[in-house]
């Protein structure tokens, strides 16, 4: 009887150790900042010679733990696009970046660009957000 009880206790302790190591691995996996953003893409529509389309908002947040210094940048083919603000710090709150299009001098057609979100010492950096503009 004593031998059976010792064996069961040994198994129980082994199970507890396995569970504890799993918890430690999970907590290590989520430590530190992680880039979170929404939406995953932006689309604008305008009429040639008309007004600029309404600005849209890109939401950036730290989906992990701690503080995250982030920056946004545009691809080189995006002279028609602007971002404000271009940098920020997020702990867990949502930071809003205004994305504005200026169609001055642009002709009918489809245009595309990319917003790149970067953050120092963040495992999922960089993240990209495709932006499309259709001028009719």
CA 77, 95, 36, 29 torsion-angle sign: positive
Instruction: Return the SS3 of 14.
Output: helix
Class of domain 35-135 as given by CATH: mainly beta
Convert the pLDDT of each residue in 35-75 to its tens digit.
Answer: 999 999 999 999 999 999 999 999 999 999 999 999 999 99
| Residue 129 confidence (pLDDT) | 98
Q: pLDDT-derived band of residue 31, with 50, 70 and 90 as boundaries?
A: confident
Consecutive H or E run containing 6: helix 2-29
Q: Which of 58, 9, 53 is nearest to 35 (CA)?
A: 58
Q: What whole-number percentage of the chain has pLDDT above 90? A: 74
111 vs 53: CA distance, rounded Å: 14
Q: If you write DSSP's letter for every residue of 90-112 in order, what string do you get? A: ESSSEEEEEEEE--TTPPSEEEE
| Residue 127 confidence (pLDDT) | 98
More confident residue, 81 or 6: 81
Query: What is the residue extent of each domain of the chain?
Result: 1-30, 35-135
């Amino acid at each position: 009887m004593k031998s059976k009880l010792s064996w069961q206790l040994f198994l129980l302790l082994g199970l507890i150790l396995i569970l504890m190591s799993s918890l430690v691995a999970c907590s290590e996996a989520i430590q530190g900042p992680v880039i979170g953003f929404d939406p995953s893409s932006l689309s604008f529509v305008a009429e040639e010679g008309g007004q600029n389309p309404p600005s849209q908002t890109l939401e950036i947040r730290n989906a992990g733990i701690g503080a995250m210094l982030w920056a946004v940048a545009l691809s080189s083919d995006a002279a028609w696009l602007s971002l404000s603000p271009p940098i920020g710090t997020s702990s867990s709150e949502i930071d809003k970046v205004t994305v504005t299009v200026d169609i001055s001098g642009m002709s009918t057609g489809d245009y595309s660009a990319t917003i790149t979100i970067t953050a120092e010492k963040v495992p999922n950096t960089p993240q990209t957000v495709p932006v499309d503009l259709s001028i009719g």
